[in-house]
């Protein structure tokens, strides 16, 4: 892991990873999301302000509905993906994490608080990295000064490094130090190490005081962070009142915001975290609520404690009705990859669990091996209480005076009077658990939709603090699969997707519900132009006879993937203005996530323009072999490109006009490099059809149907990724008729 952590205690790891480990990782990640959601409404408030507004606050302050993106979840869930790029046998370095940051964070919007160079620690480190200053110098005191380096970010993004190190605090400390040093230094690093070690230790049965004491052994004894922890511990040991507010007064006096410079220093916030751990009575909810009532950077602090206490308590220690149900496993993000910005909690937990077992050299247990290796992005419901952000909507059939049928609809992801969904161990096809769906009083012709939202618009979210934007999670040409068992009434089930752009429902074959056996359903979505698929799931329809009773269904697996076959019609898209819904300057072309630059629509053209560069992406990170084509019209400058196999802002291929009289194929590996080029005399203002074919490690580039470039990438080829457009050096290009096709393209190429 790069430079070893000097002076850290090295413990022999005796913890044995098992099936319970996976559930605790899920509980820890869920706890993080719960803590963020609890603290977000009162972020930056003082304890006195919170008490004046709410009094004793033992619940969520706000019913968020669809809680939008937050930096406290963006950082952890994307930065830990650095482990995916580390070759077997090589240790993680700070630069690996730095490249993950550059890859998934858009340029100065979304993801973090972009408060300005020299004001926001993450903003400062990001711009350092962009200018070629490597990690860990990018976040160092030497480069940025002590105040900047010791703000709170060193610990708030650190949770995954503890979650991938169950019972292995030495590994957690090493990983956390590398990760935190990208943006922080000094106590900013030691806070990250401390939190990661606490999460790692929480997998074992340590009394809370001993857990804190043990975590301290991984910090230099003379650092200010360790000294603060010992002072709070000492106060707690002597305090006879048992009143956390007495300890808070002590912290405000000795470790308050007035004692430390900067916008959000790590020491005061860490102090109230220690307070909550000690006065929380080893109870998940009490610990988090006490920390929230302490004020300051509440979403950060309570989020960190959610990870520690989630692992420690396990799923059984998190009250489902009070805390878990409101989350509904939904995690909205705001990174560069739009299809990853619609995430669920089990997916993030499974990514971390897979890394945890790989780092430990332990095989995944039982059916988890198949799920996490081959169905990572599926809805499998194996974590207790998990719903994978599934929703339910019932449309009852009513006949009007002319005998025509009309439908009245309702929607809910929580328990409702007429329909509900919840996780159960009653039935399963592939593992131990499934999603149970119940609906009461379904009349003849009633329609019950059980689905995931696969695309979000501005009006779907509660707020826009971290500027999320999205690409759909599923596309025409791809498959939708499910395993379902239905009983209770006679009826039919079919898979479906919903096109938000024209309101059309596309569905598979109607299959009679079977009471005794599981159905394997599959629907390949047909080619469609101009689609934006916003729902994917199952449609149950009650038959004329035998309706009106209790309908029950069990859903075991829901997954989608495969090769795309669709074409975008930019006349169907819009420049979505988030300021119509929130106080925001964000404007994004629907279905696209923008890294940098300006994008807008004029008739059937999407325009991309920038100063140094501009890039925007759509499609899924799971696309494999496909052909991408579009009409390009260069309007200004000399570099106009299509992007394929996009895995983020620093990992993709690009092809197009790259200089006067040049056609190029490039690879972005934290900077674009030319793989192949040829002469091609293109003209400004003229339309050209550029096509990029991707098959395995081989790429072909065609212009107006003529193949001009071919290249096989033998050095770490990108085998999956989304699509996009980019311009460089002040260029401006217009694009239309963007088409991605997989199976059809392959069939043509084999003829």
**CATH number, domain with residue 665:** 2.60.120.560
Cis peptide before 28 (omega within 30 of 0): no
Residues 469 and 520 in one domain: yes
What's residue 463's pLDDT?
82
Residues 258 and 110 in one domain: yes
Residues 530 and 644 in one domain: no
User: What is the signed CA dihedral for 367, 373, 376, 382, rounded to 10 degrees?
Assistant: 10
pTM: 0.94
**CATH number, domain with residue 143:** 1.10.4080.10
Question: Which token pair is 560?
Answer: 């989608």
Block residue for tokens 């203002």: 685
Residue 689 lies in a domain: yes
Residue 581 lies in a domain: no
In contact, 478 and 623? CB cutoff 8 Å? no
Residues 405 and 315 in one domain: no
Residue 8 lies in a domain: no
Residue 639 lies in a domain: yes
Residue 582 lies in a domain: no
In contact, 196 and 174? CB cutoff 8 Å? no
Residues 135 and 282 in one domain: yes
Structural domain ending residue among the three candidates 334, 354, 374: 354
By the 10 Å C-beta count (0-12 exposed, 13-18 middle, 19+ buried), 251 is classed as buried
Residues 338 and 452 in one domain: no
Residues 558 and 626 in one domain: no
What DSSP assignment string belongs to 692-710? EEEETTEEEEEETTEEEEE
Residues 329 and 464 in one domain: no
From first CA to last CA, the distance across the chain in angstroms is 49
**CATH number, domain with residue 443:** 2.60.120.260
DSSP state of 408: E
Residue 59 lies in a domain: yes
Block residue for tokens 């003082």: 46
Show the CA angle centred on residue 583, arms to residues 582 and 588, nearest 5°.
70
719: Cβ–Cβ under 8 A, 6 or more apart, which residues?
624, 645, 696, 697
- What 3 state SS string does 566-606 have? EECCCCCCCEEEHHHCCCCCCEEECCCEEEECEEEEECCEE
Residues 290 and 437 in one domain: no
What's residue 582's pLDDT?
64
- Domain region containing 99: 23-354
Residues 332 and 402 in one domain: no
Structural domain ending residue among the three candidates 354, 373, 402: 354
Structural domain ending residue among the three candidates 332, 354, 376: 354
Q: How far is CA 61 from CA 40, 65, 301, 304, 346, in A?
A: 9, 12, 16, 18, 25
By the 10 Å C-beta count (0-12 exposed, 13-18 middle, 19+ buried), 328 is classed as buried
Give the C-alpha separation, 380 to 385, whole Å. 12
Residues 343 and 299 in one domain: yes
What's residue 7's pLDDT?
36
What's residue 738's pLDDT?
98
What angle, 0 to 180 degrees and rounded to 10, lies between the N-to-C axes of helices 94-104 and 169-180?
Answer: 60
Residues 346 and 251 in one domain: yes
In contact, 674 and 664? CB cutoff 8 Å? yes
Q: How many domains does the chain have?
A: 3
What's residue 516's pLDDT?
78
Residue 378 lies in a domain: no
Please give the radius of gyration of the chain, using alpha carbons only, rounded to the nearest integer. Answer: 26
Give the C-alpha separation, 275 to 293, whole Å. 11
Block residue for tokens 């040409």: 477
Mean pLDDT, each 10-residue run in order, the chain (751 residues): 37 81 98 97 97 96 90 96 93 98 96 95 98 98 98 96 98 98 98 98 96 98 98 96 97 97 96 98 98 98 98 97 96 97 97 97 94 94 97 78 49 56 94 93 88 95 89 98 87 96 96 88 97 97 68 94 96 85 78 97 97 97 97 98 98 97 97 97 97 97 98 97 98 98 65 49
Question: Which token pair is 516?
Answer: 């005794």
Q: How far is CA 348 from CA 23, 353, 386, 694, in A?
A: 12, 9, 12, 28
Residue 126 lies in a domain: yes
What's residue 544's pLDDT?
61
């Amino acid at each position: 892991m790069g430079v070893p952590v000097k002076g850290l205690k090295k413990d022999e790891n005796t913890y044995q990873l098992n099936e319970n480990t996976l559930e605790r990782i899920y509980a820890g990640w869920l706890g993080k999301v719960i803590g963020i959601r609890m603290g977000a409404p009162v972020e930056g408030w003082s304890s006195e302000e919170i008490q004046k507004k709410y009094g004793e606050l033992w619940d969520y302050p706000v019913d968020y509905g669809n809680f939008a993106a937050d930096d406290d979840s963006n950082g952890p869930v994307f930065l830990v993906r650095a482990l995916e790029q580390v070759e077997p046998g090589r240790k993680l370095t700070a630069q690996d994490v730095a490249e993950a940051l550059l890859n998934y964070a858009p340029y100065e919007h979304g993801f973090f608080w972009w408060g300005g160079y020299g004001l926001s620690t993450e903003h400062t480190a990001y711009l350092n990295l962009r200018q070629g200053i490597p990690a860990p110098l990018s976040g160092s005191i030497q480069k940025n000064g002590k105040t900047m380096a010791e703000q709170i970010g060193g610990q708030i993004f650190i949770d995954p490094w503890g979650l991938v190190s169950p019972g292995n605090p030495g590994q957690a400390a090493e990983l956390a130090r590398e990760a935190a040093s990208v943006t922080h230094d000094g106590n900013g690093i030691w806070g990250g190490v401390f939190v990661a070690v606490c999460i790692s230790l929480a997998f074992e049965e340590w009394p809370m005081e001993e857990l804190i004491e043990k975590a301290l052994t991984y910090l230099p004894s003379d650092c200010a962070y360790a000294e603060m922890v010992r002072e709070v511990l000492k106060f707690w040991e002597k305090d006879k009142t048992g009143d956390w507010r007495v300890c808070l007064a002590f912290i405000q006096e000795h470790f308050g915001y007035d004692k430390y410079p900067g916008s959000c220093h790590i020491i005061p916030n860490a102090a109230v975290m220690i307070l909550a751990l000690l006065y929380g009575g080893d109870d998940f909810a009490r610990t988090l609520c006490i920390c929230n009532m302490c004020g300051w950077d509440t979403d950060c602090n309570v989020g960190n404690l959610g990870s520690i206490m989630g692992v420690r308590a396990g799923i059984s220690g998190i009250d489902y009705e009070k805390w878990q149900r409101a989350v509904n496993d939904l995690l909205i993000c705001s990174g560069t990859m739009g299809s990853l910005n619609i995430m669920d909690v089990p997916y993030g937990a499974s990514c971390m669990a897979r890394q945890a077992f790989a780092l430990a050299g332990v095989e995944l247990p039982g059916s988890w091996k198949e799920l996490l290796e081959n169905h990572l992005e599926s809805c499998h419901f194996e974590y207790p209480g998990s719903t994978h952000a599934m929703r339910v909507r019932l449309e009852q059939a009513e006949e009007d005076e002319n005998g025509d049928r009309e439908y009245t609809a309702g929607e809910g992801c929580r328990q409702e009077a007429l329909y509900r969904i919840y996780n159960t161990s009653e039935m399963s096809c592939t593992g131990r658990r499934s999603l149970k769906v119940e609906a009461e009083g379904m009349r003849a012709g009633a329609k019950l939709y059980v689905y995931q939202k696969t695309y979000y618009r501005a009006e779907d979210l509660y707020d826009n603090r971290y500027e999320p934007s999205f690409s759909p999670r599923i596309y025409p040409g791809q498959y939708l699969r499910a395993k379902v068992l239905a009983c209770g009434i006679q009826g039919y089930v079919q898979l479906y997707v919903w096109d938000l752009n024209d309101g059309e429902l596309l569905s598979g074959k109607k299959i009679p519900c079977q009471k005794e056996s599981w159905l394997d359903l599959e629907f390949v979505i047909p080619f469609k132009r101009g689609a934006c698929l916003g729902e994917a799931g199952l449609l149950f329809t009650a038959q004329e006879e035998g309706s009106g009773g209790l309908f029950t269904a069990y859903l075991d697996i829901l997954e989608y993937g495969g090769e795309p076959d669709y074409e975008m019609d930019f006349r169907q898209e819009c420049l979505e203005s988030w300021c119509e819904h929130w106080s925001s300057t964000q404007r994004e072309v629907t279905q696209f996530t923008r890294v940098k630059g300006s994008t807008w629509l004029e008739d059937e053209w999407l325009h991309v323009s920038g100063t140094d560069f501009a890039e925007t992406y759509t499609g899924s990170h799971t696309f494999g072999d496909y052909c991408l084509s579009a009409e390009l019209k260069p309007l200004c400058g000399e570099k106009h490109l299509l992007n394929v196999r996009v895995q983020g802002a620093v990992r993709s291929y690009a092809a197009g006009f790259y200089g006067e009289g040049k056609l190029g194929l490039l690879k972005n590996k934290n900077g674009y490099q030319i793989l192949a080029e040829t002469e091609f005399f293109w003209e400004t203002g003229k339309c050209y059809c550029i096509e990029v074919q991707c098959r395995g490690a081989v790429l072909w580039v065609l212009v107006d149907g003529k193949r001009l470039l071919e290249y096989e990438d033998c050095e770490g080829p990108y085998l999956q990724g989304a699509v996009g457009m980019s311009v460089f050096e002040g260029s401006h290009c217009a694009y239309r008729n963007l088409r991605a096709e997989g199976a059809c393209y392959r069939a043509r190429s084999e003829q």
